[in-house]
Amino acid sequence: MSRDRLIGLLESAAGFLPVVTGDEPAADRLAGRIVANLFLENSTRTRVSFTVAARRLGATTVDLLGSTSSASKGESLVDTARNIAAMGIDAIVVRCSASGGAHLIAEHVDVPVINAGDGRCEHPTQGLLDTLALTESMGTLDLRERTIGIVGDIGNSRVARSAAYAMTALGADVIMIGPPGFVSSSFESLTHGLGGKDRGEIHMCHDLDAALPALDAVMMLRVQFERGSAITSDYSGQYGLNAARADRLPEHALVLHPGPVNRGLEIEPEVADGPRSLIMQQVKCGVAARMAVLLEQLGPHI
């Protein structure tokens, strides 16, 4: 995604925040449209926020969950999507365990396909909403001279990839922080070749305490045990964000977490619920960001 398109989506999403909070009425700009949520992995925030986003815009939603779809009977991901599209659906939002699954579906249907998380690969709207929460709180879309830490299970994190793409596009430097087994040096080349002289860089680090004083924001990641991640008994002691560590951040630094939060493991409750935390703001931004994406794909100009 180009920097200009990213900024356009962020500006569109920011304009929807008063609708999400109830301060402005919703507009039925997608009235008559039908959005199918094909979620073959468990989800709370993403699935519900896509539903709320679509309905705030006047669209109708259909939820198809893994245990209740024909995929549970052995039907392929592509066949499931093609059958849904054939029913006159206007867009498919898909979450699946296969990396590249959303792209595969998009090659076989003639309606917009929105990636709500594909395996270990990407989670674009999460990266968009995390960046929106950050830029709204910082009061600027220009993240040059800013350093963002992403901490934890980097290797299995589609959130880390998408957030890094978005934040570096706005000029931020991103430091991937975690145990050596979780953070590969290959991430440093993640954004190579994407162009833009003002794009930030990605760096690796295995020492959270050493990185803290340089961070303008830190996003803690959930350890993804369901993807085979294993941690040592001192993981929280080395990489958990407790009150003492939060106090070592610069006074202005912000704390994010994409959820679900494992309190006491990657982040302590007093930090998750503290004045630095943007976690609930991220949830609000999730609806606004997904409204912007749905309108871009299905709006009256299409």
How do residues 30-48 score in pLDDT, each as one tens digit?
999 999 999 999 889 999 9
pLDDT of 26: 86
Pick the range with the lowest mean pLDDT from 107-121, 133-147, 160-174, 175-189.
Answer: 175-189
Read off the pTM. Answer: 0.94
State the Cα–Cα distance between residues 282 and 152, nearest whole angstrom.
18
Name every residue whose Cβ is closer than 8 Å to that of residue 260 and which is 6 or more positions away in sequence. 44, 45, 222
AA identity, residue 259: G
State the Cα–Cα distance between residues 90 and 31, nearest whole angstrom.
11
What structural domains does the chain harbor? 3-122+283-298 (3.40.50.1370), 124-279 (3.40.50.1370)
AA identity, residue 272: A
Per-residue pLDDT for 231 more than 90? Answer: no
Q: Check: CB of residue 38 under 8 Å from CB of residue 79.
A: no
**Over the Cα atoms of the chain, what is R_g?**
19
Per-residue pLDDT for 225 more than 90? Answer: no
Name every residue whose Cβ is closer than 8 Å to that of residue 68 and which is 6 or more positions away in sequence. none
Confidence of residue 215 (pLDDT cuts 50, 70, 90): very high
Region label for 182, one of left (φ > 0), alpha (ψ between -120 and 50) or beta (otherwise): alpha
pLDDT of 68: 53
High-pLDDT (> 70) share of the chain, %: 95
